[in-house]
Amino acid sequence: MRKTSRIIAILAIAMFTATSAMAIGPGNPKKGKYLFKKNCKQCHVAGAEGGELTPLSKTMSQWKRFFERDQHKAKPEVWGKYKEKDLNDIFQFLYDHAADSDQPETCG
Ligand code: HEC
């Protein structure tokens, strides 16, 4: 009986951890590029409130961390506007062309 409740507690913790971190999986980088331009560039060009941002602004592991953990803490309300699938595609585009990727890309 005590064992069962311990297992339930562990399962509950595992489920909570799984939902609080976004699952980043393979996305569509072409769609991601389009979505990045359409949704992120409005605040992320030189002189705009978010500052200039391109795939080169971060390394692959930094992008992964940003999407999985940070989730746009600087302005959390921004993240809530996007579908998880779209964020996944944007992630894939940024990740594929990150500073330390095979094909670094400055334009976004
Ligand atoms: C409504 C404006 C707005 C939109 C839209 C927006 N951002 Fe931001 N973003 C900001 C602001 C403001 C900051 C904080 C900048 C600072 O701290 O100087 C920020 C910070 C960031 C940072 C951290 C920059 C760093 O130096 O580490 C990243 C990465 C980022 N945004 C990515 C995105 C992505 C990807 C999208 C599109 C899915 C997006 N942002 C859409 C306003 C925006």
Query: 10 in a domain, yes or no?
Result: no
Query: 7 in a domain, yes or no?
Result: no
Per-residue pLDDT of 18-35, as tens digits, reads 444 567 878 999 999 999
Per-residue pLDDT of 54-89, as tens digits, reads 999 999 999 999 999 999 999 999 999 999 999 999
The number of domains in the chain is 1
Give the integer Cα–Cα distance in Å for 2 and 92: 44
Give the integer Cα–Cα distance in Å for 108 and 97: 10
Domain containing 31 — which CATH number?
A: 1.10.760
Which amino acid would we find at residue 48? A
Q: Which residues line ligand 1 (CB under 6 A)?
A: 39-40, 42-44, 49-51, 53, 66, 72, 74-75, 78, 82, 90
Query: 69 in a domain, yes or no?
Result: yes
Which amino acid would we find at residue 68? E
Query: 19 in a domain, yes or no?
Result: no
Query: 53 in a domain, yes or no?
Result: yes
Range(s) of the domain holding residue 74 = 24-108
Q: Is 4 a residue whose pLDDT tops 60?
A: yes
Local confidence band at 42 (pLDDT 50, 70, 90 cut-offs)? very high
CA of 104 to the centre of ligand 1 (A): 20
Question: Are 60 and 105 a contacting pair, CB within 8 Å?
Answer: no
pTM: 0.84
